[in-house]
Amino acid sequence: MNDKYSWLRQGTKGLVCTPGKFVIDPIQPTDLAVITHGHADHARSGHRHIIATPETIAIMRARYKDIRKESTTPLDFGVAKKINDVEIRFASAGHILGSAQVVIDYRGTRVVVSGDYKRRADPSCEPFELVPCNLFITEATFGLPVFSHPPADTEVLKLLNSLKKFPDKTHLVGVYALGKCQRLLCHIRKHGYTEPIFIHGAMRPLCDLYKSFGYELGELVQVTSRVKKITAGKIVVCPPSAIAEKWSRGFVSPMTCLASGWMRIRQRVKQRQIELPLIISDHADWYELTTTVREVGAKDIWVTHGQEEALVHYAQTIGLNSAPLSLQT
Amino acid sequence: MKLFALLLEQLVYSSSRNQKIRHLITYFSQEKDPDRGFAVAAIAGTLQIPNITSSVIRKLIEDRVDPELFRLSYDYVGDLAETVSLVWPSNITSENISLYAATNTLASSSRSDAPKTLAMLLDRLGQSERFALLKLITGGLRVGVSARLLKIALGKFGNKNVIDIEELWFGLTPPYTDLFEWLEGKAKLPNVDRALLFRPVMLAHPIVKNDLKSMSAKEFIAEWKWDGVRVQAIAYKNQSRLYTRTGEDISRSFPDVLDQINWQGVIDGELLVVQKNTVQPFEQLQKRLGRKKPTKQILDQYPAHIMAYDILENNREDLRSLTFLERRRHLEEWFALERPKRISLSEIISVSKWSDLTKYRDLCRLHGYEGLVLKRRQSPYLVGRKKGHWYKWKRDPLSAECILMYAKRGHGKRSSYYSDYTFGCWSNNNDNTLMPVGKAYSGYTDDDLLRLDKYVRDNTTERFGPVRSINPSLVLEIAFDAVQFSNRHKSGIAMRFPRIKRVRWDKPANEADSVEKLRQMVDQSAFVKI
Ligand SMILES: [Zn+2]
Ligand SMILES: [Zn+2]
């Protein structure tokens, strides 16, 4: 439907840039992969060559053993690089450490692929950079007007207040191991909480990695069965699934908490049997999505990754050409 | 209203009673009058608030939000009040309008102005408060706090006995300022006319294994434990009331009994449906409960009746400090004098040794009694569940062998365990389909739970949120008090008080019971003539 962008299409491997001969965030092994950030649904292993920010490469090394040094090209934010017939550069996406938007210039047209992003301040990564462009390909994880994330500080206060109110309860906080976990820890520390924070073993490598990039996470203690008895009134962070697994047994009187943008919806909270929902997200909410769609000044908006329908509808009502990315095949 | 909205959220998500109580106490100490009293009323369901229909609310939102975006949002969220509260266009800074101001503004606006007033309020409130207000006016607060729990929290907040609060409760009205002043030690007990108020009731303890050995049969009498609803009937001057044992006023649902309550006093008894002098099964009483205005047809079809156990007051004389035997004499005298219609006297069974009583207990299932109640002859009428005075001795449960079909994760301490089980029976003996027949989340030991949890994880066939569907091969021996016919269940039957008696690791699934066998266990016995 968009002939002028026929050089970009959604193939079986992912978003293919034909003149650049690369695929962005490929879902299958490919010769040349441009990777926006380290989350598993974007950064997969098995590609012949990877271009990503140095932080993303470090994250991938920590997660996948088989990534060799020679198969990667680190590219800093803002540095232009010619790849075959196109020029690309990375702009910060504000999503997690090293997360990037891919800016592609080809024959006088500029396309920005957002990857995952958010606009609000995050003490654990670089802020979002707004890059004006002709075509903006945006994510839409929270692409419905019902999603409006409150300030992360109010949510962190909820957690800290609950610790005071229930000093006998272990606050088991489910968070994704990459990004959300370190962001939450930074926010908690910013509020002056200096107690040790207990972490699930799966959090350890990525917390260490953030520390090596200079982020202060304070004292972290890995959970062992002995430690479980002294966590009353303390914070324990673990992957969301661990709350439901055997790992979570043995803690003193656990209180289940989950930090996620989905916690905005009461039914979700009830269904996951969460007692203290914390609405903290690494993705843009509806307000941020619609603001960005307006501010990038693009005439064309493609939407992917989530609730496409509502955001496409919104972009159309303000006079832009918009369609779900899945239709660009 | 910010604190109130926060409280509702905390209550909805709390998994334990204690947690809810703590949230309530914090709220009572942080919120000012009259808002905290109105909040109590909102939770107890005694708050008067104008009802605004869903269609009016829909119209308001569609005037403000792109209808297509609203439709997509509503489809996603599934709850109107929540969707509207989330998508309502609002300022970043919301005002803290009090619950009182909000409900009062609504109540004082005319019917035609109400939508406009509501919109004005929603414009000024934050998201959580919008949700709370919308839930209040559409009547679906559902925070899982019973009136009893609320009173316990009030008692703990003021360091007062919950019984005192229960005695007062129905004489107080929102915003309960006098109650809070007393709880905070700023004023004396509120002075209310208690004549028609509910009196807290005396409750029985279940008999456990060796209880009887240490008790002498001669010190007790026994009565049948009827399968009805415990009630308190009060008459004073020309007024009367009927309450449940938690103090809920059910007078309006039972005009047939109420018409007959015209003496001066307080009677404790069991509400039953009695047709042609024959006690009917509990399902028939269920048809009357919760029906605010029963039709004549319902009244004729399911006539209500009270089986009187005790008398608490007679002609304004408080009898509660008398012994059971003395009160019984008063009850009998009263009965002989008044000859009340739709009321009978509970039969007294006295035995000299427990083994004689066992014979009565063995008759319970045949006659449809739930069991026996033992009452110490010399005990006064003591409020609450005091040890050593009244006991309930239930009939032996029935049991069936069922197959584990689904398991759900528990709450709080049990959140990492699949601890809630749905089980089924074979739909008939010939084909291989299972029909769910009940749910249980108790009866097993900690060791059973560990092993069951592992079994669930190893034999999952499908997952839906916190629920897993299980390869149907494990037999559970289920104990239950009774089976009833039910058209709300696909199997056509419903179990009462099912629990897991034993896990039959050894038993092959094809030897489990059939639905047909359960149908044959349905109580057909409730033909007691009175
Ligand atoms: Zn991501
Ligand atoms: Zn993603």
| pLDDT for position B300 | 94
Q: Is the pLDDT of residue B253 over 60?
A: yes
Q: Give the count of beta carbons closer than 10 Å to the beta carbon of residue B173.
A: 14
Q: Is the pLDDT of residue B248 over 90?
A: no
Q: Which of residues 104-163 of B touch A (CB under 8 A)?
A: 127
Spell out the domains of chain A, with CATH numbers in brackets.
3-146+283-324 (3.60.15.10), 152-278 (3.40.50.10710)
**Residue B130 near residue B106 (C-beta atoms within 8 A):** no
**Residue A235 near residue A198 (C-beta atoms within 8 A):** yes
ipTM: 0.95
Q: Spell out the residues 6+ positions from residue B520 whose beta carbon is closer than 8 angstroms to its own.
A: none
| pLDDT for position B69 | 96
**Residue B49 near residue B137 (C-beta atoms within 8 A):** yes
Q: Is the pLDDT of residue B525 over 70?
A: no
Instruction: Please tell me the distance from the alpha carbon of residue B318 to that of residue B195, in angstroms, as a whole number.
Output: 11
Q: What is the mean pLDDT of residues A265-270?
A: 91
pLDDT tens string B256-310: 999 888 889 999 999 999 998 899 888 889 889 878 889 999 999 999 999 999 9
Q: Is the pLDDT of residue B191 over 80?
A: yes
In DSSP notation, A105-138 reads: EETTEEEEE--S---S--TTSPPP-----SEEEE
- What sign has the CA pseudo-torsion A298, A304, A310, A316? positive
pLDDT tens string B60-86: 999 999 999 999 999 999 999 999 999
Q: Is the pLDDT of residue A1 over 50?
A: no
Q: Do B73 and A314 touch (CB under 8 A)?
A: no
Chain A to chain B Cβ contacts (< 8 Å): 89
A256: phi then psi, degrees, rounded to nearest 5: -85, 125
Q: Which residues surround ligand 2, an ion (CB under 5 A)?
A: A 41, 116
Please tell me whether the peptide bond between A254 and the residue prior to it is cis, using omega within 30 degrees of 0: no
Q: What is the mean pLDDT of residues B485-490?
A: 83
Please give the C-alpha separations between residue B338 and each of B202, B265, B274, B277, B333, in angstroms, as whole numbers.
25, 11, 20, 19, 9
H helices of B351-445, in order, are 354-367
pLDDT tens string A137-154: 999 999 999 999 999 999
In DSSP notation, A42-56 reads: T--S--SEEEE-HHH
Residue B221 CA to ligand 1 centre (angstroms): 71
pLDDT tens string B415-454: 889 999 999 999 875 667 899 999 999 999 989 999 999 9
Query: What's at B34, amino acid-wise?
Result: P
Across chain A, mean pLDDT equals 94
**Residue B30 near residue B170 (C-beta atoms within 8 A):** no
Q: Which of residues 17-76 of B touch A (CB under 8 A)?
A: 19, 22, 26, 65-66, 68-70, 72-73, 76
The gap from C-alpha B501 to its chain's centroid, in whole angstroms, comes to 25
- Residue B335 or A67, more confident: B335
Instruction: Give the max Cα distance, chain B.
Output: 79
Instruction: Please tell me the distance from the alpha carbon of residue A321 to that of residue A325, in angstroms, as a whole number.
Output: 12
Q: What is the mean pLDDT of residues A199-221?
A: 96
Q: What is the mean pLDDT of residues B510-527?
A: 82
Q: Is the pLDDT of residue B51 over 90?
A: no
Q: Is the pLDDT of residue B509 over 70?
A: yes
Q: Which residues from A are below 8 Å from B77, CB to CB?
A: 146, 265, 267
Spell out the domains of chain B, with CATH numbers in brackets.
2-138 (1.10.3260.10), 205-394 (3.30.470.30), 398-520 (2.40.50.140)
For a pLDDT cut of 90, what percent of chain B falls above it?
A: 65
pLDDT tens string A77-94: 999 999 999 999 999 999
| pLDDT for position B92 | 66
Ligand closest to Cα of A93 equals 1
| pLDDT for position A239 | 97
pLDDT tens string B443-482: 999 899 999 999 999 999 999 888 999 999 999 999 998 8
| pLDDT for position B187 | 93
- Residue B92 or A256, more confident: A256
| pLDDT for position A297 | 96
Question: Nearest by CB to A254, which of B68, B413, B465?
Answer: B413
| pLDDT for position A255 | 94
Instruction: Please tell me the distance from the alpha carbon of residue B421 to that of residue B371, in angstroms, as a whole number.
Output: 27
**Residue B313 near residue B321 (C-beta atoms within 8 A):** no
Q: Would you place residue B94 in the very low, low, confident or very high pLDDT band (cuts 50, 70, 90)?
A: confident
pLDDT tens string A286-298: 999 999 999 999 9
B77/chain A closest Cα distance in angstroms: 7
Q: Spell out the residues 6+ positions from residue A313 whose beta carbon is closer than 8 angstroms to its own.
A: B66, B68, B69, B72
Instruction: Please tell me the distance from the alpha carbon of residue B221 to that of residue B347, in angstroms, as a whole number.
Output: 10
**Residue A21 near residue A32 (C-beta atoms within 8 A):** yes
Q: Which residues from B are below 8 Å from A144, CB to CB?
A: 69, 72-73, 76
Q: What is the mean pLDDT of residues A188-198?
A: 96
Q: Give the count of beta carbons closer than 10 Å to the beta carbon of residue A130.
A: 15
Radius of gyration of chain B (CA): 27
Q: Is the pLDDT of residue B209 over 90?
A: no
pLDDT tens string B312-371: 999 989 999 999 999 999 999 999 999 999 999 999 999 899 999 999 999 898 888 999
Instruction: Please tell me the distance from the alpha carbon of residue B366 to that of residue A171, in angstroms, as a whole number.
Output: 52
Across chain B, mean pLDDT equals 91
Q: Is the pLDDT of residue B502 over 90?
A: yes
Nearest Cα to B72, choosing from A252, A50, A317, A240? A317
The gap from C-alpha B232 to its chain's centroid, in whole angstroms, comes to 16
pLDDT tens string B146-167: 888 999 999 999 999 988 898 8
B31/chain A closest Cα distance in angstroms: 16
Q: What is the mean pLDDT of residues B17-23?
A: 95
pLDDT tens string A152-175: 999 999 999 999 999 999 999 999
Which residue is closest to B414 within chain A, CA to CA? A249
Q: Do B12 and A270 touch (CB under 8 A)?
A: yes
A126/chain B closest Cα distance in angstroms: 25
Question: Nearest by CB to A271, which of B79, B411, B465?
Answer: B465
A243/chain B closest Cα distance in angstroms: 6
Q: Give the count of beta carbons closer than 10 Å to the beta carbon of residue B269.
A: 24
pTM for this one?
0.84
- The neighbouring-strand residues paired with B306 are B271, B343
| pLDDT for position B268 | 97
The first and second tokens of residue B271, run together, are: 């509400």
| pLDDT for position B301 | 94
